[in-house]
């Protein structure tokens, strides 16, 4: 990626980091003045705000994100995380073909580098690939500093673009949806929009296909962004169940066309907690 873009992005990110310490200076000043109660209150408010903004996946406190499609029309979007997988990806692609459904596959860079033929097959069958970081550090991604975020996001972007140079990712999804005050800034510097979801069944942690399907079904409506996963013990069963439900729903399930730019009017910020 362009070195100037990286430098400019990191400068802005570290400036944001420096500014974020301002409340701590105020806390220290309050303690020095003897207003300990006020200092504790301010510290708790700041800590709680940062925690919510970081760990609640669909909280847009630290940057704009796509959480649903525009309500105009009858479209829903199926997104599939954590591939490519040597067994699951081909099976899921066949399932999608049978139901005439197109999806966005959010791919992990290291896995894509191991299975570039699967990435090409996803594109060849009319689907879209998205950036899901290079190594998928799900438990630590929220704690990465700007340089680490750049390595993860830019690394995946380079990997996927090198495999399919005519179809570079335009969307980014953080692992587990966790993100910090620098994530959106890094993604935007790489020309990416951050996409989350509003209909998921927790198939990454729950091994019950019926539960997953029912939970997604209860949230399914025009504009929904559905999330399922590869690389789980029930991945193929979930893909079959959910795609059957989508095919029977009467909703159009396809990827937005290349001309669809996800401008500001498509970036929907909701105050509702993550499902």
Residues with catalytic roles? 81, 229
HSE on the CB side for 175, CA within 13 Å? 20
Other beta carbons within 10 Å of 44: 10
Residue 186 to residue 173: CA distance in whole angstroms: 12
The first and second tokens of residue 134, run together, are 């290079």
Pure H helices in 21-145: 22-32, 36-55, 88-99, 109-114, 116-124
Give the containing element (helix H, strand E) for 156: helix 146-163
Q: What angle do CA 258, 261, 266 make, to 5 degrees?
A: 130
Environment class of residue 174 by beta-carbon count within 10 Å: exposed (0-12), middle (13-18) or buried (19+)?
buried
Q: H helices then E strands: how many in the chain?
A: 10, 8
CA separation, residue 226 to residues 121, 174, 183, 254 (Å): 22, 15, 22, 12
Residue 195 to residue 130: CA distance in whole angstroms: 9
Environment class of residue 121 by beta-carbon count within 10 Å: exposed (0-12), middle (13-18) or buried (19+)?
middle
């Amino acid at each position: 990626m362009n070195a100037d873009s990286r430098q400019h992005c990191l400068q802005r990110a570290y400036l944001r980091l420096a500014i974020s310490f301002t409340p701590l200076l105020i806390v220290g000043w309050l303690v020095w003045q003897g207003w300990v109660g006020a200092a504790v209150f301010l510290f708790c408010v700041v800590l709680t705000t940062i925690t919510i903004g970081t760990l609640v996946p669909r909280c847009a406190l630290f940057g704009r994100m796509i959480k649903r499609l525009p309500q105009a029309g009858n479209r829903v979007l199926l997104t599939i995380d954590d591939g490519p997988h040597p067994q699951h990806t081909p099976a899921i692609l066949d399932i999608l073909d049978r139901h005439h459904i197109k999806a966005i596959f959010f791919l992990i860079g290291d896995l894509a580098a191991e299975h570039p033929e699967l990435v090409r097959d996803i594109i060849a069958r009319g689907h879209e690939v998205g950036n899901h970081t290079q190594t998928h550090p799900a438990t630590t991604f929220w704690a990465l500093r700007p340089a680490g975020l750049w390595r993860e996001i830019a690394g995946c972007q380079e990997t996927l673009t090198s495999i399919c140079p005519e179809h570079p990712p335009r969307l980014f999804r953080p692992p587990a949806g966790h993100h910090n005050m620098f994530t959106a800034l890094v993604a935007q510097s790489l020309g990416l929009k951050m996409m989350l979801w509003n209909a998921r069944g927790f198939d990454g942690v729950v091994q019950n296909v019926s539960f997953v399907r029912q939970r997604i079904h209860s949230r399914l409506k025009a504009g929904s962004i559905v999330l399922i996963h590869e690389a789980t013990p029930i991945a193929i069963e979930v893909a079959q169940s959910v795609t059957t439900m989508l095919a029977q729903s009467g909703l159009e399930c396809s990827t937005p066309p290349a001309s669809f730019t996800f401008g500001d009017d498509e970036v929907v910020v909701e105050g509702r907690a993550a499902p």
